[in-house]
Amino acid sequence: MTRRKVKLAFIVNNSSKKKTYKKRKRGLLKKAHEIFTLCGINAGAIIYSPYDPTPEVWPSVEGMNQVITTFRNLTEIDRHNNMVNQQEFVQQRITKADKLLLKKKKDNREVNLTEDMYRFLQIGQLTIPAGGHNNPALAKDLNDLGYLVDQYLNSLNRRIQILEGGSDVEIGESL
């Protein structure tokens, strides 16, 4: 059974809000217990609620004091080393997405150039768009295409050397 997407909105009905709070609190405490047990990480949770005058503390008040004391005993650098606020988290995600986008663009460009190279080998001529002779982007494309052809030729020459037996390449080395 798959879970349906939860609509994140303020719950107006008080009884439903209290029921949801109890269920989510139980889930949060279960996750804290799992990370403590499975990963061996000192973890704790303090939950303030309008339904209970005293805060809920997990694993216990003493255990939570130990976690806080351990955290406070860290140097300032260690304390802030892995701490991320929402803005930093979003910035890290954007940076990661930008790197992935650049990698995908590079991969797509390489695939397009490879297709152009094979098309050229089949047809025997390059199709240059009208007025493209003075286009700087076309010059870059042609340079990149030339570089790609050189890479393929070098790879083919290395394979020929290996097949002829005069190779300096060890078994398992990438061609």
Residue-wise pLDDT tens digits, 140-169 = 888 888 888 899 899 999 999 999 886 555
- Cis ω for the linkage preceding 50 (within 30 of 0): no
pLDDT per position as a tens digit, 99-127: 999 999 999 988 988 888 888 878 877 66
CA distance 8 to 17: 13
HEC string of the chain equals: CCCCCCCCCCCCCHHHHHHHHHHHHHHHHHHHHHHHHHHCCCCCEEEEECCEEEEEEECCHHHHHHHHHHHHHCCHHHHHHCCCCHHHHHHHHHHHHHHHHHHHHHHHHHHHHHHHHHHHHHHCCCCCCCCHHHCHHHHHHHHHHHHHHHHHHHHHHHHHHHHHCCCCCCCCCCC
Instruction: Report how far residue 169's alpha carbon sits from residue 148's, in angstroms, rounded to the nearest whole number.
Output: 22
- pLDDT score of 69: 92
Domains of the chain: 14-83 (3.40.1810.10), 107-164 (no CATH)
Query: How large is the average pLDDT for residues 82-109?
Result: 92
Q: Which of 136, 131, 140 is nearest to 113 (CA)?
A: 140
The CA-based angle 77-42-38, given to 5 degrees, is: 125
Strand partners, 46: 57
- Mean pLDDT across the chain: 85
Asked if pLDDT for residue 64 goes beyond 80, the answer is: yes
